Amino acid sequence: MITKEQKDKIIQKYATKKGDTGSPQVQIAILTYEINDLSAHLKTHKKDFSSRRGLLKKVGQRRRLMRYLKKENLAEYEALIKPLKVKDSV
């Protein structure tokens, strides 16, 4: 679980304008950090199936947002996936 301070830093880093919290770039970045956090949790707690289900839901949501961003603005999409180290599988 990411803290409020971590989330605020992510929002500041990936926001397209001041006060931006809902753009696809910000949502993808937040989901990526949450996915990384859950993945680390599941490496130690292999039988935590409810967290695994939450991880799969977050991965699906990020995939949909990435598909949308790639369709709408390819340059922003390519600029976003490099610092997040996400594969271009959309």
Can you give the pLDDT at residue 59? 97
Q: What is the mean pLDDT of residues 12-36?
A: 94
Name the class of domain 4-84: mainly alpha
Distances in Å between the alpha carbon of 65 and those of 41, 50, 80, 84, 89?
24, 23, 12, 14, 12
From 78, 65, 74, 71, select the one nearest 26 (Cα to Cα).
65
Does the structure show a pLDDT above 90 at 88? no
Q: In the chain, what percentage of residues exceed pLDDT 90?
A: 87
- Taking only the tens place, the pLDDT of each residue in 41-59 is 999 999 999 999 999 999 9
- Could you read off the pLDDT of 58-67 as tens digits, one per residue? 999 999 999 9
**Alpha carbons 42 and 83: distance in angstroms, whole number:** 24
